[in-house]
Amino acid sequence: CAAIRQKCLLEGPRNVHIIGGDAREALPMLLPPSCVSEVHINFPEPPVWHDNCAREGTGGDHLLTSDFFNILHKLCRGSSTLRIVSDNEQYLITVRTELEKLSGLWDSVELRELTADDESEPSSYFDRMWKRGHHSSR
């Protein structure tokens, strides 16, 4: 978190809030209701055992659950966008299932699997860092 925060302060963007800790607890404590218009979640880390849980249909205790999306939505303005990028297709399927429990909550939802040969234009700070070669692996 400290390295990301420093990079944002030195190079931008200026409208980023870096939070370390459990987002279910930290976000409601740090942000007032209705202050967010876009949410970008890049490469969420499912637990190491998550793939087995996803295959078995048990979901596990990962962050991106319907309960978390309800907490997150309370922080959003009336019109809000949610974008999740991952390189784990199975995890995105699990997240999609969680979001389907909350139909109509978000105005716009994009779940995108990013692969090593992805040619689409980057649209977040972290995507731009990756495209510029600032990281050698994900």
Q: 19: how many CB neighbours lie within 10 A of its CB?
A: 14
Give the single-character DSSP code of 122. P
**Once rounded to an integer, what is the mean pLDDT over residues 93-114?**
85
Nearest Cα to 126, choosing from 34, 15, 8? Answer: 8
**pTM above threshold 0.75:** no
Give the single-character DSSP code of 93. H
Residue 15 CA, chain-centre distance (Å), reads 16
When computed from its CA atoms, the radius of gyration of the chain, rounded to whole angstroms, is 15
| pLDDT tens for each residue of 119-137 | 555 456 566 666 666 555 5
Residue 86 pairs with which residues in a beta bridge?
113
| pLDDT tens for each residue of 52-66 | 554 544 445 678 888
Q: Which residues contact residue 96 at a Cβ distance below 8 angstroms, ignoring those fewer than 6 apart?
A: 111
Cα–Cα dist 31/80, whole Å: 15
